[in-house]
């Protein structure tokens, strides 16, 4: 949290940029967070993001986390963390939604 506060405390660096910088540095620990992820997860507040991610990945004996890791391996990327696989899936969903809206 100290690093989050340091980065987020810089003028002009908001929640999204802070999460992207931290995710780049610690991809196993920090999810990328933006308005689309917020929408997909159904979050009402930016403050809830960490708890929501943790709860989602931890429930049912970490079934979601294991599934995400399995998807990464099946896609030929066993080195990806569950959070990175989640990021990819969310952005693929966004892309599909944008593409379907063009028709």
Which DSSP string corresponds to 4-51?
HHHHHTSTT--HHHHHHHHHHH-TTT-----HHHHHHHT-S-GGGHHH
In this predicted structure, the answer to whether residue 103 has a pLDDT above a threshold of 60 is no
Please report which confidence band the pLDDT of residue 101 belongs to, taking 50, 70 and 90 as the band edges.
Answer: low
pLDDT at 35: 84
For residue range 10-44, list pLDDT tens digits in order: 888 988 898 889 888 888 888 888 888 888 777 77
User: Is the distance from CB of 46 to CB of 38 less than 8 angstroms?
Assistant: yes
pLDDT at 47: 74
For 103, which DSSP code? Answer: -
- Tell me, what's the pLDDT at 92? 87
Mean pLDDT across the chain: 84
Write the pLDDT tens digit of every residue in 49-97.
778 778 877 888 889 889 999 999 999 999 999 989 988 898 888 777 7
Closest of 28, 23, 32, 82 to residue 57, by C-alpha: 82
User: What tokens does 74 get?
Assistant: 């099946």
Higher pLDDT, 77 or 6: 77
User: 80 near 31, Cβ under 8 Å?
Assistant: no
């Amino acid at each position: 949290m100290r690093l989050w506060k340091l980065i987020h405390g810089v003028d002009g660096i908001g929640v999204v940029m802070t999460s992207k910088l931290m995710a780049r540095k610690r991809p196993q620990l920090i999810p990328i967070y933006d308005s689309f992820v917020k929408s997909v997860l159904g979050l009402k507040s930016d403050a809830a993001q960490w708890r929501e991610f943790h709860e989602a990945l931890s429930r049912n004996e970490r079934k979601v986390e294991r599934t995400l890791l399995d998807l990464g391996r099946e896609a030929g990327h066993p080195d990806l963390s569950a959070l990175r696989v989640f990021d990819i899936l969310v952005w693929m969903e966004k892309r599909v939604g944008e593409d379907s809206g063009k028709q």
